Amino acid sequence: MSNENFRRELNNAFDEVSGSPNAGLHDRVRSAVTQAPEWRAPYWIAGVAACVIAVLIVGVLFVANPLKRPGPSTGGVVASPSASPSASASPSAQPTPSASPSAQPFVCANQAFQPAPSGTPVISDLRTGSHGAYDRLTVEFANGMPGDIEVSVHSGTAFTLSPSGMPTTLKGSNGILVVIRGSDLHTSYSGSTDILTGYAALAEVKRIEDFEGVVQLGLGVNGPACYRVSFLTNPSRLVIDVLAAG
């Protein structure tokens, strides 16, 4: 059999198996090719819209953070804002000397002082202390410093109370009288008016007068009545150091 006859027989056999070709197949193929872009367009638009919606949903979830997860923090602890610092308390006023008491010489005679007066001074405290070579009386004032102070020495310790005129005798062998004009010992002072110290030099401090703006303090002294006077500020104070007997 020749090659040409063989191909003819093979085509006939294939036609018998597959059937005759459909006459409209060629038209359907052409229609599918020319109409394919228009037919698939709605699917592309739907796909793009779905992607946009998905992006919007993810963005909303990220901003809203519905799970309320805490942000990153150091050491696994969420840092909380520290309270704003309060104004630091200002330091309380400290006594500041206007003159160093140790710079003043000891004297054994009468003296008068006229410190710069201010306000309406009243005695607010009487304090005593021992410092070895001398004992100290501190008279503290509220509302300023009086402008007239006298200190005088006495032989013996006998004084006269005013205004009653009654005699009184203090501890010690000699005395010092302190007169303060323009003040009082009852408006702001509520402590003892007769202080027994037991010190080597300053034995006793007693109120002699507190009447009509005049205050007198009697000091009973062991040994000679030698002293020094200083005026301190903030608060206002009169300081009297009594020299211990050598």
All structural domains of the chain with their residue ranges: 22-69, 98-243
Dihedral of the alpha carbons of 130, 135, 138, 139, in degrees to the nearest 10: 130
CA 186 to each of CA 112, 141, 178: distance values in angstroms, whole numbers, following the listed order = 24, 12, 17
pLDDT bucket at 55, cuts 50 / 70 / 90: low
pLDDT tens profile 179-199: 999 999 999 999 999 999 999
Number of Cβ within 10 Å of residue 148's Cβ equals 15
Q: Return the HEC string of 29-44.
A: HHHHHHHHHHHHHHHH
Give the pTM: 0.60
Who's near 36: CB < 8 A, 6+ residues apart? none
Distance CA 140, CA 162 (A): 22
DSSP string, 199-215: -SSEEEEEEEEEETTEE
Looking at residue 89, its pLDDT comes to 40
Least confident piece of the model among 74-88, 134-148, 154-168: 74-88
Distance CA 182, CA 137 (A): 19
Is 2.60.40.3500 the CATH number for 98-243?
yes
Helix (H) or strand (E) holding 59: helix 25-64
pLDDT bucket at 218, cuts 50 / 70 / 90: very high
Distance CA 124, CA 140 (A): 6
